[in-house]
């Protein structure tokens, strides 16, 4: 209802509300629509960008005040008048944050039963294969062009994307260091996710010195945080190193300009720094599956997820991404089946 209502600063639970409404669980005669029931929804940092007046990532429309949030999810077809879908099909794509919805309000990516049959659970599909997995694949392999023996530093390392980047980098034979915001997360990185080392950035006065302590001969970087972290990365980047800019979560809630001080290292060390948007990489999906499915089957890739139950807990789950409340991929369980 006006620009003054658009979220500013850190999103709060009170910026969102849970509203009850009704929907007829029967399609009208002759309809070609699809009625779906949401099972799992994915809470993602980019959703904050869609709540602001600032420019949104290409290909994503900002949210409209008064309409449901929308994001990636897995849903079940309740009724279908569309020839491509039938009752009980599992579908994945971008869905509204509601219990039931009618297409074509939200576009399906695909019918996912075949894909999901590779995974023990829908959850595993959502966490590993859906958007975070594709993001990791695109950002690490396509943008980062890694080589065996690289020293890879990953920020927000225990999160949805970070935990997979670290595991992909280990599979490549890289030395992998991550930063995260709590002791629990650091332990997870070192003891469960196979990182060579990890540190709690909240306990470091000097991030430049911290990075030098873990890798003395220069890093390549998968960047999820931006701001001060990126500045320290620039001070430690290797000659002809690469920075794959996946995200800048430390900047999504602030309006001021970046204030990066160490950009000159890009020039001095002939560094390639490149941002990317996963939505431009879905043509690589078959290649990604070919890569990841055998590793999953052999138990070489694991994932950690954080599940909030019930749509009413959606706002807290989403807000929690900005205080680091989530441990692993934040998922919202709407219904089990």
Residue 129: C-alpha distances to residues 115, 134, 224 (Å)? 9, 7, 19
Alpha helices in the chain (DSSP H): 46-49, 113-116, 122-124, 131-136, 160-171, 183-191, 207-214, 227-236, 264-268, 285-297, 314-320
Check binding of 178 to ligand NDP (CB under 6 A).
no
**Sign of the dihedral defined by the CA atoms of residues 250, 132, 243, 237, in that order:** positive
Q: Could you tell me which of 232, 225, 197 has the C-alpha nearest to residue 211?
A: 232
Check binding of 160 to ligand NDP (CB under 6 A).
yes
Q: Spell out, one character per residue from 214 to 253, where the chain touches ligand NDP: x when CB under 6 A holds, - when not.
A: ----------xx--------------------xxxxx---
Q: Which of 127, 233, 321, 333 binds ligand NDP (CB under 6 A)?
A: 321
Check binding of 103 to ligand NDP (CB under 6 A).
no
Nearest distance from C-beta of residue 43 to ligand NDP, angstroms: 8
Pair of tokens at residue 135? 């993001």
Q: Which of 37, 106, 185, 265 binds ligand NDP (CB under 6 A)?
A: 185
Query: What single DSSP character describes residue 70?
Result: E
Strands, E assignment, the chain? 34-42, 70-80, 90-96, 100-103, 108-111, 151-154, 175-180, 197-200, 220-223, 242-245, 272-275, 305-309, 329-333
Residues 105-134 that bind ligand NDP (CB under 6 A): 132
The answer to whether 91 touches 107, Cβ cutoff 8 Å, is no
Which of residues 75 and 249 has its CB atom nearest to ligand NDP in the complex? Answer: 249
Pair of tokens at residue 316? 């807290």
Pair of tokens at residue 227? 């701001």
Nearest distance from C-beta of residue 238 to ligand NDP, angstroms: 22
Number of residues forming the site for ligand NDP (CB under 6 A): 30
d(CA 199, CA 144): 22
Check binding of 44 to ligand NDP (CB under 6 A).
yes
Which of residues 57 and 173 has its CB atom nearest to ligand NDP in the complex? Answer: 57
Q: Which of 162, 166, 241, 315 binds ligand NDP (CB under 6 A)?
A: 162
Q: Which of 52, 80, 135, 151 binds ligand NDP (CB under 6 A)?
A: 135
Nearest distance from C-beta of residue 58 to ligand NDP, angstroms: 10
Q: Spell out, one character per residue from 275 to 314, where the chain touches ligand NDP: x when CB under 6 A holds, - when not.
A: -xxx------------------------------------
Nearest distance from C-beta of residue 77 to ligand NDP, angstroms: 26
Burial class (CB in 10 A: 0-12, 13-18, 19+), 59: exposed
- Residues of this chain that interact with ligand NDP (CB under 6 A) are 44-46, 132, 135, 156, 159-162, 180-182, 185, 224-225, 246-250, 276-278, 321-322, 324, 326, 329-330
């Amino acid at each position: 209802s006006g620009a003054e209502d658009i979220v500013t600063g850190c999103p709060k639970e009170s910026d969102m509300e849970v509203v009850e409404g009704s929907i007829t669980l029967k399609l009208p005669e002759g309809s070609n629509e699809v009625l779906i029931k949401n099972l799992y929804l994915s809470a993602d940092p980019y959703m904050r960008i869609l709540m602001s007046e600032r420019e949104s990532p290409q290909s994503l429309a900002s949210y409209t005040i008064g309409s449901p949030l929308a994001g990636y999810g897995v849903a079940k077809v309740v009724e279908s008048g569309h020839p491509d879908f039938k009752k009980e099909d599992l579908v994945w794509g971008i869905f509204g944050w509601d219990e039931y919805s009618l297409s074509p309000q939200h576009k399906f990516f695909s019918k996912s039963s075949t894909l999901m049959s590779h995974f023990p659970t829908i959850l595993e599909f959502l966490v590993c294969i859906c958007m975070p997995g594709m993001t990791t694949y695109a950002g690490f392999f396509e943008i980062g062009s890694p080589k065996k023996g690289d020293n890879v530093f990953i920020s927000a390392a225990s999160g949805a994307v970070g935990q997979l980047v670290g595991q992909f980098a280990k599979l490549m034979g890289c030395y992998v260091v991550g930063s995260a915001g709590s002791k629990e997360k650091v332990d997870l990185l070192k003891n469960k996710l196979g990182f060579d080392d990890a540190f709690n950035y909240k306990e470091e006065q000097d991030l430049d010195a911290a990075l030098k302590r873990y890798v003395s001969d220069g890093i390549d970087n998968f960047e999820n945080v931006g701001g001060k972290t990126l500045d320290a990365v620039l001070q430690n980047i290797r000659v002809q190193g690469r920075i794959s800019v996946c995200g800048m979560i430390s900047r999504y809630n602030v309006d001021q300009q970046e204030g990066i001080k160490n950009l000159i290292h890009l020039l001095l060390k002939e560094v390639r720094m490149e941002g990317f948007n996963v939505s431009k990489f879905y043509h690589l999906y078959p290649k990604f599956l070919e890569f990841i499915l055998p590793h999953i089957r052999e138990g070489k890739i694991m994932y950690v997820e954080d599940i909030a139950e019930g749509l009413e807990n959606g706002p807290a789950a989403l807000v929690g991404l900005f205080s680091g409340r989530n441990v692993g991929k934040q998922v919202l369980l709407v219904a089990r089946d």
